[in-house]
Amino acid sequence: EAQVTQNPRYLITVTGKKLTVTCSQNMNHEYMSWYRQDPGLGLRQIYYSMNVEVTDKGDVPEGYKVSRKEKRNFPLILESPSPNQTSLYFCASSPRQGTYSNQPQHFGDGTRLSIL
């Protein structure tokens, strides 16, 4: 089954304790992206990756890191989490993305992070 898998689905942790949210897709998609969703603010892009070893900042990259060493995986790293990073996070992938090839994104089920 084609899917985007995020882990964990829920996490409660404390300020400053490094954490990683994993994202994996089995569709051989080139493009992957991370979003955070907060009430009244919609989905805001954190980082995206056009392909392996290519990552770029989205609208709200501060406090986050990503890597794209393999095509299928795109982990989101919070080196020193803070309470303002408490949010619902979504990973998404699509075959390609760009001015002439914008294609629908497939979203994971989401990860709800609470930073105390």
Partner 1 sequence: GQQVMQIPQYQHVQEGEDFTTYCNSSTTLSNIQWYKQRPGGHPVFLIQLVKSGEVKKQKRLTFQFGEAKKNSSLHITATQTTDVGTYFCAGLSAGGTSYGKLTFGQGTILTVHP
Tokens of 32: 């992957």
Nearest CB to partner 1, comparing residues 40 and 62:
40
Closest separation in Å from C-beta 26 to partner 1: 16
Cβ-based neighbours of 58, under 8 Å, separated by 6 or more: 33, 34, 35, 44, 45, 46, 47, 48
Nearest CB to partner 1, comparing residues 16 and 98:
98
Burial (0-12, 13-18, 19+ Cβ within 10 Å), 29: buried
Closest CA to 58 of 41, 77, 36: 36
Residue numbers at the binding site for partner 1 (CB under 8 A): 31, 33, 35, 40-45, 48-50, 56, 58-59, 90, 92, 97-100, 102-110
Closest separation in Å from C-beta 50 to partner 1: 5
Closest separation in Å from C-beta 77 to partner 1: 20
Nearest CB to partner 1, comparing residues 48 and 64:
48
